[in-house]
Structure 1
Amino acid sequence: MGLLNLLTTNPTAFVIIAVALVLSLTVHEFAHAYVADRLGDPTPRRFGRVTLNPGKHLDPLGTLLLLVAGFGFAKPVPINPANLGRWGVLWVSAAGPISNLLIAVVTAILLRVLPQNDLTFQVLLTVLGINVVLAVFNLIPIPLLDGSRILGALVPSLGRSLAQFEAMPFSFLLVMGFIFLAREPISGIINTVQRWVLGVVGYA
């Protein structure tokens, strides 16, 4: 279900989810760009991506899909692997999901320590949930996702095959089809990680 349905049925939830998505996607892509920049690759800075300005990271098609289909994507951060080396690519790839996990943990802490009302609880739980989804989803080791680049850095021969698959026509549609078919186990993992994050900070 897309976010547009909430615009008429629950405008408050629409605004909360939309803002949380934009900020979470922005931090995710900024983390990729920042780590690449710090490791010596000037490519993200050259494209203006070392910033927390959402306008530099949001993809028009990905944003439209978020509104109408409930899933989407931001613009990938361009990097030059030759400037980073194998382990640099690994850390750049992992930076996005790690940033989302950190946001989820901080949000869980706020849920535990802040005085609660309905709006605060809704905002914090939404932010936590979105960032767990982004972290888990992007760590799936299939092409076009951060997990495939992490796997490719760990197993270079496999990384070349994954890169070749990404260059194929319709690779995006194939990946989306796989995710759709695997949505139930993926949802199970997401729920497990969310419970773990809440458990880590002792929130019941």
Structure 2
Amino acid sequence: MIGEISAIALAAILAITLHEAAHGYAALALGDDTAWRLGRVSLNPLRHVDPVGTLLLPGLLLVTQLATIGRVEAMFGWAKPVPVDFGRLHNPRWGMVLVAAAGPGINFALAFGFGMAAHVATGGAGLLPGPAMDWLLRFIALSMLYNVILACFNLLPIPPLDGGRILVGILPLPAARAVAGLERYGLLIVIGLVFVLPYLVPGFDPLRTLLREVALPVLEAVFWLSGHGGAQ
């Protein structure tokens, strides 16, 4: 139980921390040092922790699922968003696209990297005790899964998710303004889609659909690209 919790927690913390750090590094490279001045361009997970989204909600989901079904089937949470002043970027519109894309981009890169790391881990079988090797392989598998899910979820075209900001950056100005106007309601829209509507509308579960129709094929592609043939 402790091993499973530690593997889940470490995989999720790394995925979320590097996702947020990537936004900060991209913004700094493109001309905005807001996050840098606030200490948010950092690989320190504590700089990106949101008490509710990073600790309370994921912890509650983790404990509830382990206590009721003995395994973790779904996790949901968020980190403290990295502040970006898009007006300070060298090219505000395309800069917004690149800064937003940096988060999912690093998650896809991490998923591939962990896929490659699995070859090293399995090639070193015998160097670690059996339980330690089992934990390492479980951590690698969870890291691949969480990074793919985090990237795919954040690419949904709903501001303030990364996909919404990418959409704002590439749409013609009138449409971009309309989409950007949704940002103040974005978190409510996401919570409604993920938690509320599935309970109100039988058969309507956009999160499960996203996982099945988007994240799973992407994960299978990552497995194939990293030399594992396909997701099992």
Question: TM-score by structure 2 length?
Answer: 0.79
Report what 2:216 is aligned to. 191
Look up the equivalent residue of 1:95 and give its one-letter code. Answer: A
Runs of 5+ consecutive residues of structure 1 not aligned to the other structure: 1-9
Percent identity, aligned pairs only?
A: 39
Query: Tell me, what secondary structure is at the counterpart of 1:12?
Result: helix
The CA distance in 2 between the partners of 1:55 and 1:120, in whole Å, is: 23
Q: 2:191 aligns with which of 164, 167, 176?
A: 176
Look up the equivalent residue of 1:166 and give its one-letter code. Answer: E
1:21 and 2:46 are equivalent in the alignment = no
Report what 2:134 is aligned to. 118
Moved more, 66-75 or 87-96: 66-75
Q: 2:179 aligns with which of 162, 169, 172?
A: 162
Aligned-pair distance for 1:144? 2.1
Question: TM-score by structure 1 length?
Answer: 0.89
The CA distance in 1 between the partners of 2:35 and 2:116, in whole Å, is: 32
Look up the equivalent residue of 1:179 and give its one-letter code. Answer: V
Q: How does 1:69-88 map to 2 (within 5 A)?
A: 69=61, 70-84=75-89, 85-88=92-95
Question: Aligned residues, how many?
Answer: 193
Asked if the contact 1:149/1:159 (under 8 Å) is kept, the reply is no
Asked if the contact 1:143/1:175 (under 8 Å) is kept, the reply is no
Report what 2:162 is aligned to. 146
Runs of 5+ consecutive residues of structure 2 not aligned to the other structure: 62-74, 126-132, 196-204
The CA distance in 1 between the partners of 2:174 and 2:141, in whole Å, is: 40
Alignment RMSD: 1.4
The CA distance in 2 between the partners of 1:19 and 1:55, in whole Å, is: 13
Q: How does 1:100-115 map to 2 (within 5 A)?
A: 100-115=107-122
Runs of 4+ more than 4 Å apart: none
